[in-house]
A and B are shown apart, each in its own frame.
Chain A
Amino acid sequence: MKYAAAIAVGTLALAAHAGEREAELIRLVRQDCGSCHGMTLKGGLGLPLTPEALGDKPADSLVSTVMNGRPGTAMPPWKTIISEQDAEWIVKRLLEGFPEEK
């Protein structure tokens, strides 16, 4: 019984941690990606990142764009700032419609 409680607490802590990271990533995308893609992600100097605009572009190639940038364009590589998992999470959310900042 005690053991189960400990697991439950552990999972909760993990979830809280993930929630925090997600909040950070949402802020990063809205604010810092937003400086080129627009805070609403409808585009600016960079392309729009709305589900309609991304359409059926393959997620893994978008993840690679985020991590490595696009040489010759203004899209910078983010791999020194975020992890591969972060980029996967961001792209998944972009394709679904990106959450608003709380």
Chain B
Amino acid sequence: MMRWFTLLAASLLAGCVQMQSVRGTGDLGVVIERANGRVAVVETTGKTVLGRIEGLGDLSHASVVFSRDGRYAYVFGRDGGLTKVDLLTATIAKRVMQAGNSIGGAISQDGRLVVAQNYQPGGIKVFDAASLELLSEVPAAYGTEGKHSKVVGLADLTGNRFAYALFDAGQIWVTDLSDPRNPKTEKFAAGNQPYDGLVTPDGRHYLAGLFGEDGIALLDTWRPQDGARKILGGYGRGQEKLPVFKMPHLRGWAMAGGNAYLPAIGSHEVLVVDARNWQGVHRIPVKGQPVFVMARPDGRQVWVNFAFPDNGWVQVIDTVAGKVVQTLEPGKAILHMEFTPRGEAVWLSARDDNKVVVYDTATFKPLTTLPMQAPSGIFFTTRAARTGF
């Protein structure tokens, strides 16, 4: 009997190791694994997996935002599941099914609201970040026939406002959620088929990339009365457009030395834009059609991955030299990249090699490899403190 008790106590203790050792969350993160709707909780100091959580539904192309204390990850699943994951205990804190087809979300400036952007039914939904209670929604209705648009490019602005783009309606909307149960929305004409959006690190400018025409729609959210205007309209004109096998992602974009680095669409180029006047300054030829164009936190390097069929490559642009200085082959189907908080290393997911590879950004040498089941997105808690992430 006694023996049995000792055993039980020992195994209970073992089960609680994670909860018992006090630790911070600044070096934590999650990796989306496709198998069984699973996420891996990782830490970037020792570069290890701390735990795995299953049962989050369809996580293809899932995205994540963090609570401001860096403890909780809000995981937006493709099937409309929204799961609040506790990184410290590696458990599900809350989970709701909020839509039929969702592509991501954002968290408010004050950390109290989590907003989901949905394809089906098209619109946004607003949740209490603590309880995941639904507070309000804004259907993306447009035109006169009661149609709803798919929503893309949701980004948080100051004052608990959110900007997003309507793919089918060609509009940018800004919703003010300072009173979260009474959303107030302003609408701006943007252009043909905005496919994704981003906000500048200061929260001022919202940019929506256009698929259906050349150029990018730009809204100065400090001067909304001016409306959205088009930049880079003639940029890249005269070139034959290549078929686009995957839409580029703008979130996670790069701002370095006063210039913005953006993925071109339908060409093998990274666009360099002067962020003071939004004029194109330069186009950097790269190996394929860029998907993510991400600056190392210091802005000295910009890392680029590519659409199918060039998704085995990763290139590094040196922002001082203004050109590609490294071409790497980290594995098959590189879907995402994430820098450690101060950028000495970058984690890359190689979906078809079932691994995550960590590279040293100074030497471009792999530091370690972590086995993962079809990994896609990698998200670190540093995002908690950044506007637009």
Contacts and interface: CB of A to CB of B under 8 A. Distances in A.
Interface of A: 27, 31-32, 34-36, 38-40, 42-45, 69, 72, 74, 76-77, 80-81
A76 B58 CA distance: 25
B386 to A, nearest CB: 25
Contacts of A42: 100-101
Given A31-B333, A31-B351, A81-B309, A43 B60 contact: no
Nearest to B119: A44
B78 A39 contact: yes
Contacts of B79: 40
Contacts of B193: 74
A45 to B, nearest CB: 7
Q: Interface SS of chain A: helix, strand, loop or mixed?
A: loop
Q: Interface SS of chain B: helix, strand, loop or mixed?
A: loop
B258 interface: no
B245 interface: yes
Interface in B229-273: 243-247
B61 interface: yes
A36 B79 CA distance: 14
Nearest to B196: A45
B333 A45 contact: no
A76 B243 contact: yes
A77 B60 contact: no
Interface residues of B, number: 28
Contacts of B309: 81
Given A44-B101, A74-B195, A81-B309, A32 B245 contact: yes
A75 to B, nearest CB: 9
Nearest to B246: A35
Given A44-B103, A74-B195, 19 more contacts: A32-B245, A32-B246, A34-B60, A34-B61, A35-B246, A35-B247, A38-B101, A39-B34, A43-B101, A44-B78, A44-B101, A45-B150, A69-B243, A74-B244, A74-B247, A76-B244, A76-B245, A77-B243, A80-B243
A44 B352 CA distance: 22
Nearest to B311: A32
A32 B308 contact: yes
A35 B119 CA distance: 14
B211 interface: yes
A45 B195 contact: yes
Contacts of A36: 246-247
A45 B119 contact: yes
B243 A43 contact: no
B245 A45 contact: no
* Of listed B78, B100, B333, B351, residue having the most chain A CB within 10 A: B78
A51 to B, nearest CB: 18
Nearest to A81: B309
B44 interface: no
A43 B120 contact: yes
Contacts of A31: 333, 351
Contacts of A80: 243
B196 to A, nearest CB: 10
A20 to B, nearest CB: 15
A42 B103 CA distance: 13
A1 B359 CA distance: 58
Given A40-B78, A42-B101, A45-B247, A74 B58 contact: no
Interface in B1-57: 34
Interface string B52-90: 000000101100000000000000001100000000000
30 contacts: A31-B333, A31-B351, A32-B245, A32-B246, A34-B61, A35-B247, A35-B308, A36-B247, A38-B58, A39-B58, A39-B60, A39-B61, A39-B78, A40-B58, A40-B60, A43-B101, A43-B119, A44-B78, A44-B103, A44-B119, A45-B150, A45-B152, A45-B195, A72-B212, A74-B211, A76-B244, A77-B243, A80-B243, A81-B245, A81-B309
B167 interface: yes
B311 to A, nearest CB: 9
B167 A45 contact: yes
Contacts of B351: 31
Nearest to A35: B246
* Of listed A35, A36, A69, A72, residue having the most chain B CB within 10 A: A35
B164 to A, nearest CB: 14
B101 to A, nearest CB: 6
The 10 lowest CB-CB distance pairs between A and B, nearest first, are A39-B60, A76-B243, A32-B308, A35-B246, A77-B243, A76-B244, A76-B245, A40-B58, A74-B211, A38-B78
A72 to B, nearest CB: 8
